[in-house]
Structure 1
Amino acid sequence: MASIFTKIVQGEIPCHKIAETADFLAFLDIRPLAAGHTLVIPKEEIDYVFDLEDAQLSALMVFAKKVAKAIEAEVTCKRIGLSVIGLEVPHTHVHLVPINQISDMTFGREPVKMSNEEMAALASRIAARL
């Protein structure tokens, strides 16, 4: 069965897209730790990040770096935190989270409340920075 991220890639589930290439997709997390929290995924459904081929893993990180720089340019923060946990969805994904302190990367806390309109506007502004 296809993961929720594969369904997003295939257009079956909508997302607030930040960037897309033939191989990768970046979109806002619907349960953000901070405004601008973005997920970066390979379009190919591979569960575990360390099962990616070396070239694919490298390309994923280069793509994530470009997206992180765009988020950082739009969202006020000290830096962009990066996390790869890999248990929530069986599809490799990188979390890019605007942070000001270490605790901003705590995944057990309540997500930031944002309306669909706020998320759409933020996604558009970040995408414009690319």
Structure 2
Amino acid sequence: MTIFSKIIAGEIPSYAVAENEHFFAFLDIFPLVEGHVLVVPKVEVDKLFDLPDDYLSRMLLFAKPIARAIEEVFPCNRCGLSVVGLEVPHAHLHLIPINSADDLNFTRGKLSVTPEDLRRAQTKIVEALA
């Protein structure tokens, strides 16, 4: 069972921003920038492109309003999308507020954030989705 499956099951706490029967979205606790969200399928599949076609398309449709909410509440030119998938063997998308392509550079240092920072970002996104 991956750490993402444990988060989805509620065994590990998270800063959830959206959920439906197929997907779960929550803040990355080691974000590249404030507002960095992970979108994860509830089915445990290692590689994103191993998901069935209909599931993959529904995942992007699930992510779309979250990306719009991120653009609304964090100062950025757009919400970037990245698929890396090397750290956790569970398919996932990164939704990241960006102002340049370098903002998607995963080799950079991560932000040091507090639980209060994460709760504040979570509240902003959840309210924008409402």
Aligned to 2:115: 116
SS at match of 2:7: helix
Q: Which is worse superposed, 111-120 or 54-63? A: 111-120
For 1:30-109, list aligned pairs within 5 A. 30-109=29-108
List alignment gaps of at least 5 residues for structure 2. none
Note the aligned Cα RMSD (angstroms): 0.7
How big is the shift at 1:72? Answer: 0.8
Where do 5+ consecutive residues of structure 1 fail to align? none
The one-character-per-residue Cα deviations of 1:82-119 (angstroms, maximum 9, x if unpaired) are 01111110100000111101111110111112210110
Using the alignment, how far apart are the partners of 2:45 and 2:123 within structure 1? 28
Work out the CA distance in 1 between the residues paired with 2:64 and 2:87.
22
Paired AA for residue 8 in structure 2: V
Q: Percent identity?
A: 49
TM-score normalized with structure 1 length: 0.96
- Size of the aligned set, in residue pairs, is 129
Q: Runs of at least 4 residues of structure 1 off by over 3 A?
A: none
Measure, in 1, the Cα distance between the counterparts of 2:113 and 2:85.
24
Indicate yes or no: 2:1 matched with 1:5.
no
